[in-house]
């Protein structure tokens, strides 16, 4: 690229790469402490993997990324209160299709809880969740084992033969502290959280530069030079510190990959941590119908017939999209289909039309309604393929066997010059969550301030 296309931008004290909630939270902390901050964001919006869109046919927004607040997460609740965002709690009715019968969660939850709680017995060493089931849960029913596997793979976007049991125990302990079995939805849209952080960061003096794709980070002690591409022009930003909030999927790319961010010199002290974590895959599709036709349906259950009028979550382990939910307690004409882990990894390779057809097939099988009838009701579908997104290369992270301490290794600053935040750096058991990402941004922001 010619020298006429190269510009040197103004010189802030801190550069933040990424305007997701971790970067925005850190920017707010640093800017409010009196230091100049510039956030470089590759997208044309802030929020990262919070991606809210609005459809005039629906009373509430559509979430293409994060949707739920898991538990009473203190920072998320605090931001929601400050921004006057309305939260509603979801009814925790989880139904499972087993042997063609609808089984209510209460009928198998006790045994499932025993399986999940039993992981605490693993005091030394580590093993995968699949190995844990095989070695420690031999007496559990096939139904319970299937439900446990579907939960771990779906919730953590993980492969059951890869994810660390020690990390799951840490996650469960962290969730217990915030009533993690409860789920909440922001009725006005999850982007309200990101907007609140952005507004506060900007009001404190932070600058946000969108459409700025970072390609290279050159650094030495107390000095950073970041090269970005914007509208086919190359810009160089310089600062004393850089805070990296890139998703794990980007950090894991080989330097020659066109979506990679190159570090010069390489940050070799992060290699082990990056290799010990995995970027999970998720497929989530929103189907918007002309009416909530499922509310008129009944499915066979052990008690006879069960109306789907108040259906909240339904799971069918044999389907490619095994988990579906409504927007209750708000009644809408939208259903959301979900799968995570190996199943999602396969589905995200398909084109959009094929993914839509797979979703319709799964829904047809679960609801016992002909696919042609579902197609007649369907108005539109919308989803975002995070695995194909050039700025994420996956949905969210988890720790592989032996990687229990990897988030702490990834979070550790390098020579008081490079700092790290984002959900993959969560050391308190909230890896893979929005509230975990916010906490890491606050932590990294404090670290940057203390170093200046």
Domain coverage including residue 157: 110-176
- How many domains are there within the chain? 2
Q: Are residues 210 and 233 in the same domain?
A: yes
Phi, psi angles (nearest 5°) of residue 194: -65, -40
Before 265, cis peptide (omega within 30)? yes
> Mean pLDDT across the stretch 395-416?
97
CATH classification at residue 422 = 3.50.50.60
Kindly give, in sequence order, each residue whose CB lies less than 8 Å from that of residue 242, ignoring residues fewer than 6 positions away. Answer: 14, 15, 16, 17, 217, 219, 224, 226, 417, 418, 419
| Tokens 């693993």 found at | 122
The total number of residues shown for the chain amounts to 452
Q: Which residue has the higher pLDDT, 305 or 6?
A: 305
218, two tokens: 């050159």
Cα dihedral value 268, 271, 272, 277, nearest 10:
160
Predicted local distance difference test score (pLDDT) of residue 415: 97
Residue 356 lies in a domain: no
pLDDT for residue 4: 36
Based on the fold, state whether residues 269 and 225 are members of the same structural domain.
yes
- Cis peptide preceding 329, ω within 30 of 0: yes
Tokens of 141: 């029913």
My answer on whether 144 and 211 are in the same domain is no
- Is residue 140, in this structure, part of any structural domain at all? yes
Q: 196 and 171 in one domain?
A: no
Regarding whether 199 and 166 lie in a shared domain, the answer is: no
- Give the separation between CA 445 and CA 172, rounded to whole angstroms: 26
To the nearest whole percent, how much of the chain has pLDDT over 90?
87
Do 172 and 195 have their domain in common?
no
pLDDT value for 266: 96
Closest residue by Cα to residue 395 from 320, 317, 350, 339: 339
Do both 24 and 162 map to the same domain? no
Closest CA to 418 of 242, 228, 196, 233: 242
Same domain, yes or no, for 220 and 250?
yes
Q: Token match 């850190």: residue?
A: 26
Residue 64 counted as domain residue: no
Tell me if 291 is assigned to some domain: no
> Quick check: is 204 in a domain?
yes
Phi, psi of 233 (to 5 degrees): -115, 150
DSSP H/E element including 289: strand 282-289
Over residues 275-319, the pLDDT tens digits come to: 999 999 999 999 999 999 999 999 999 889 999 999 999 999 999
122-155 confidence digits (pLDDT tens) = 878 999 999 999 999 999 988 889 889 999 999 9
Confidence (pTM): 0.95
Q: Is 15 contained in some domain?
A: yes
263 and 124 within one domain = no
Answer yes or no: do 157 and 195 share one domain.
no
Q: Please calculate the CA angle 96-101-103 and round it to the nearest 5 degrees.
A: 40
From 151, 176, 201, the end of a domain falls on 176
Same-domain status, 155 and 232 = no
Residue 324 lies inside a defined structural domain of this protein: no
CB of 186 closer than 8 Å to CB of 193: yes
Average pLDDT over residues 192-199: 98
252 within a domain of the structure (yes/no): yes
How high is the pLDDT of residue 110?
A: 79
pLDDT tier at 55, thresholds 50, 70, 90 = confident
Q: Are residues 257 and 233 in the same domain?
A: yes
């Amino acid at each position: 690229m010619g020298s006429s296309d190269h510009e040197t931008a103004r010189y802030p004290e801190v550069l933040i790469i990424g305007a997701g909630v971790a970067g925005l939270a850190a920017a707010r902390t640093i800017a409010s402490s009196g230091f100049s901050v510039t956030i470089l964001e590759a997208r044309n919006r802030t929020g990262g993997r919070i991606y809210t869109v609005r459809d005039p046919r629906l009373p509430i927004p559509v979430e293409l990324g994060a949707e739920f607040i898991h538990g009473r997460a203190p920072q998320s609740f605090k931001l929601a209160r400050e921004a006057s965002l309305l939260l509603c709690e979801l009814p925790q009715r989880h139904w499972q299709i087993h042997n063609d019968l609808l089984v209510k969660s209460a009928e198998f939850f006790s045994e499932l809880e025993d399986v999940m709680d039993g992981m605490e017995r693993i005091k030394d060493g580590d093993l995968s969740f699949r190995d844990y089931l095989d070695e420690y849960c031999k007496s559990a029913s096939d139904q319970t084992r299937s439900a446990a596997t579907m939960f771990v793979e779906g919730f953590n976007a993980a492969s059951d033969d890869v994810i660390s049991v020690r990390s799951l125990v840490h996650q469960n302990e962290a969730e217990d502290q915030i009533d993690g079995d409860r789920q909440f939805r922001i009725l006005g849209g999850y982007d309200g959280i990101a907007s609140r952080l952005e507004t506060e960061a900007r009001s404190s003096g932070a600058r946000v530069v969108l459409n700025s794709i970072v390609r290279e980070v050159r650094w030495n002690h107390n000095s950073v030079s970041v090269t970005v591409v914007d509208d086919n022009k190359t810009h160089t930003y310089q600062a004393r510190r850089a805070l990296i909030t890139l998703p794990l999927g980007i950090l894991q790319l080989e330097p020659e990959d066109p979506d990679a961010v190159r570090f010069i010199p390489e940050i070799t002290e992060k290699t082990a941590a990056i290799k010990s974590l995995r970027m999970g895959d998720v497929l989530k599709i929103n189907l918007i119908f002309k009416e909530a036709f499922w509310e008129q349906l009944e499915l066979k259950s052990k008690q006879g017939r069960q109306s789907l009028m108040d259906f909240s979550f339904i799971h069918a382990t044999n389907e490619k999209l095994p988990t579906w939910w409504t927007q209750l307690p708000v009644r809408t004409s939208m259903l959301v289909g979900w799968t995570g882990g190996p199943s999602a990894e396969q589905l995200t390779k398909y084109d959009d039309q094929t993914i839509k057809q797979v979703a319709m097939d799964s829904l047809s099988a679960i609801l016992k309604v002909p696919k042609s009838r579902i197609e007649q009701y369907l108005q539109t579908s919308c989803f975002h393929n995070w695995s194909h997104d050039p700025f994420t290369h996956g949905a969210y992270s988890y720790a592989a066997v032996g990687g229990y301490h990897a988030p702490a290794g990834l979070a550790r600053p390098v020579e008081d010059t490079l700092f790290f935040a984002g959900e993959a750096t969560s050391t308190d058991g909230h890896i893979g969550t929005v509230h975990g990402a916010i906490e890491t941004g606050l932590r990294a922001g404090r670290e940057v301030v203390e170093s200046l």
